[in-house]
């Protein structure tokens, strides 16, 4: 089995979390395999890598705590429901990794910005950076 980089693990985790959030009946392994199949560099991986599955499960378990932290810094009148789902999942990953994982805060924020640039746009990256800089005080 091919070894995934930490960045690739985060990419697939993000895609899986997004898929699971829009399809509550989906199984994590199936959504991870689908994300892998959509990437030409990773499509030869036949089963869900353990490190991706574990990160997906840990971020899901920590999402309520992460959401409370994010909500605290939203401007008045905004709720989590109004946020772009990809932005929310990117922030959940970063907050989990910096708070509960073995990833330095600056690395978690930098990786979240890289994901935002790949999956969203510049305004989302700025928004994510603003929230994370408040939630994850360096």
pTM score above 0.95: no
Report pLDDT for 24.
86
Domain segments of the chain as ranges: 6-135
The mean per-residue pLDDT over the stretch 116-138 comes to: 93
Instruction: Measure the CA–CA gap between 79 and 129, rounded to whole angstroms.
Output: 18
Instruction: Measure the CA–CA gap between 138 and 6, rounded to whole angstroms.
Output: 22
Instruction: Measure the CA–CA gap between 91 and 27, rounded to whole angstroms.
Output: 22
- Work out the angle at residue 9's Cα, subtended by the Cα atoms of residues 5 and 12, and round it to the nearest 5 degrees: 135
Instruction: Measure the CA–CA gap between 129 and 109, rounded to whole angstroms.
Output: 7
Query: What does the pLDDT look like over 56-114, one tens digit per residue?
Result: 999 999 999 999 999 999 998 899 999 999 999 999 999 999 998 789 999 999 999 99
Query: What does the pLDDT look like over 5-19, one tens digit per residue?
Result: 899 999 999 999 999
Query: What does the pLDDT look like over 24-39, one tens digit per residue?
Result: 889 999 999 888 887 6
Instruction: Measure the CA–CA gap between 135 and 69, rounded to whole angstroms.
Output: 6
CATH class as words, domain 6-135: mainly alpha
């Amino acid at each position: 089995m091919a070894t995934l980089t930490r960045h690739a693990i985060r990419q697939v985790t993000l895609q899986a979390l997004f898929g699971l959030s829009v399809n509550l009946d989906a199984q994590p392994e199936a959504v991870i395999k689908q994300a892998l199949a959509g990437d030409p560099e990773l499509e030869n991986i036949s089963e869900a890598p353990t490190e991706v599955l574990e990160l997906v499960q840990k971020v899901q378990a920590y999402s309520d705590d992460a959401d409370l932290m994010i909500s605290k810094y939203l401007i008045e009148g905004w709720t989590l429901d109004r946020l772009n789902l990809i932005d929310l999942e990117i922030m959940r990953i970063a907050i989990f990794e910096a708070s509960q994982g073995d990833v330095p805060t600056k690395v978690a924020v930098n990786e979240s910005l890289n994901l935002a640039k790949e999956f969203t746009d510049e305004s989302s990256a700025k928004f994510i950076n603003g929230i994370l800089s408040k939630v994850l005080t360096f």
